[in-house]
Structure 1
Amino acid sequence: MLIRSLRSFLALHRHGTIVAAAEKVHLSQAAVSIQLKNMEDELGIALFVRTRRSLEFTSAGRQLVSLAEKMVSIYEEMKAIKGGGPIGGFLSLGVINSALGGVLPQLLKEMTLKNPGLEVKIMAGISGELVSQVNRGTLDMAIVTEPPQRFPTNLSVHYLYSEPFALLTPAEVPYQDLVRAFKSSTPYIAFERSTWAGQLIDEFLMKRGVMTKPSMELNSLDAIAALVSQGLGISIVPLIRGAAWHASPNLHVVRLPNFERPVSLITRASHEHDALTALVLSSFSTVDWNN
């Protein structure tokens, strides 16, 4: 079976249509259709359900996705070892929102400058959703925060950096002490408590005997910062790099000691040592944390 057929198969899975898949692999729609039909004939398995307007994956076709990814990944790794040159192919990378404006631009620049044949698709989201997508094989890897419990055992975890948490108060009430801030009559604007960050914040406050009754819950750091800057409450949020609100004259930001969350790169364990994982980790080591 040709690697190019597997690339077309994966492109269809990722982009949903023959038209989009053909565009991604730089072939005609007819050529992609022939490749997919040849795969079915060679394997003796129905991979798709064909209708007049679409091509849907069968259960067997969906099961084949992770195996096809492994085969393409191994092939790219073999090419990199042989030539010591750039890596090509496709990488689907999940990224938590807090990394989008900070580490991600530097990471992508480093990866794509040295590997112009590499196509990177970014999927932004919250950690729990991204972990599930890596676990299912719909993402190759993801930059996420650590969960309140543990990662699934079939995932490999590579620590990258830590994000501190901070107390946000309006500039006119610049509390330095956490307990005093929460004993005041100022409303508490909570980071959404169903998220991992929200659960960490709740646990942090409970350990310090701080009882809260949020006036509202939000899952947007920018929105929380804007509300606090208008004097509508106080909050605890991750202190992310590159956020414009850090320098707001209407905000008082106090970093909380001994309270931070690890951020890691996760991959399926079967991909732990592949060329793309190594590329992301090596590119990450070049990130300038002073920028």
Structure 2
Amino acid sequence: MDIRFVESLVAVVEVGSLAAAARQQNLTAAAISQRVAALEAELHVALLLREGRRVVPTPDCEALLPDFNRMLRIRAGLKQRLMQGRLKGTFRLGAISTAIGDYAPGLVEVLRAEAPEVELSLMPGSSSEIFHKFESEALDAALIVEPPFVLPKSMVFEVVGRQPLGLLTPKEPGQDLPYIVYGREAWGGSACWAALERLETAPRILCEMDALETIAQMVGDGLGQALLPRWEGLLRHFPQTCFAPIDASARNVGLLSWRRDRDRPVMELLRQGLGLAQGVTPS
């Protein structure tokens, strides 16, 4: 089975169109169709159906998709393994949005100077989403909120920044502003909610979301106040707000990596760009 044909089939399923998959892979729609037809002939099943303008997987295709995706991950992993001892190739880093703003410029600067053949691929998302992608080895490392559970021994979490919790208000606050709540289901949001409950027994809530920059913008626009962690770029990007720490509570953001990768040259550069001590392996 040709793995390139599998990649084309998965692309069609993801975008729902032969033409869109062809553009994504720099091929013609006819070439994509031929690849799918070759897979169907090899497996002796139909893999795609047309529903109106969309192309959708058949039940047989849906049953095989987990295996097809696993094949593609294995291929990507093999390429990454070959690059481990060399400073070249793509490095896939998942990161929460505030970490991208705080740390991406420094990482890009270090890699551009020390490893120009390494392409940094930044993939945003929530901490839980990124963790699951890292766990399935779709990412090489991650910048996320400290997980609220014990990690497997194969993983390492190194704290990059300890962000104090505090009350974010407009510079010209109105009377009795409601609270914009940092999502309680988010890894960093539960601590903020607990701190808010200590401040007010029955806070008046305007809305709730796992989107810190949007919350800060809404606070700056005078729509409400919020109890948030103070990331490095908070007041730089939202100067129309004021931050008042409330107690010793904090949100830890750090680097999640595989213990087996600790000696990879690119990981050493990553730690350098994040200001982490060299040669130290956390427990």
TM-score normalized with structure 1 length = 0.64
Q: Which runs of 5+ in 1 are unaligned?
A: 174-184
The question of 1:144 aligning with 2:133 is answered: no
Partner of 1:62: 66
In 2, the alpha carbon distance for the partners of 1:251 and 1:70 equals: 48
8 Å contact kept, 1:96–1:126:
yes
Write out per-residue CA displacement over residues 54-103 of structure 1, whole angstroms, 9 at most, x where no aligned residue: 1524221233202321123213433x369x46225x95x54322223222
Residue identity over aligned pairs, in percent, reads 21
| Secondary structure of 2:69 counterpart | helix
8 Å contact kept, 1:46–1:58:
no
In 2, the alpha carbon distance for the partners of 1:63 and 1:172 equals: 54
8 Å contact kept, 1:188–1:234:
yes
Q: Residue 287 of structure 1 is aligned with which of 273, 278, 282?
A: 273
AA of the residue aligned to 1:237? L
8 Å contact kept, 1:189–1:233:
yes
The question of 1:239 aligning with 2:230 is answered: yes
Partner of 1:190: 181
Partner of 2:22: 22
Q: How many residues align?
A: 266
In 2, the alpha carbon distance for the partners of 1:235 and 1:255 equals: 12
Q: Within 5 Å, which residues of 2 pair with 1:55-94?
A: 55-56=56-57, 57-78=61-82, 80=83, 84=86, 86-87=88-89, 91=92, 94=94
AA of the residue aligned to 2:29? Q
Shift of 1:286: 3.8
Partner of 2:203: 213
Cα distance 1:13–1:85, how it changes in 2: closer, same or farther (>3 A)? farther
Instruction: State the superposition RMSD in angstroms.
Output: 4.6
Cα distance 1:65–1:249, how it changes in 2: closer, same or farther (>3 A)? closer
More deviation, 160-169/95-104: 160-169
Partner of 2:160: 161
In 2, the alpha carbon distance for the partners of 1:117 and 1:29 equals: 32
Partner of 1:176: none
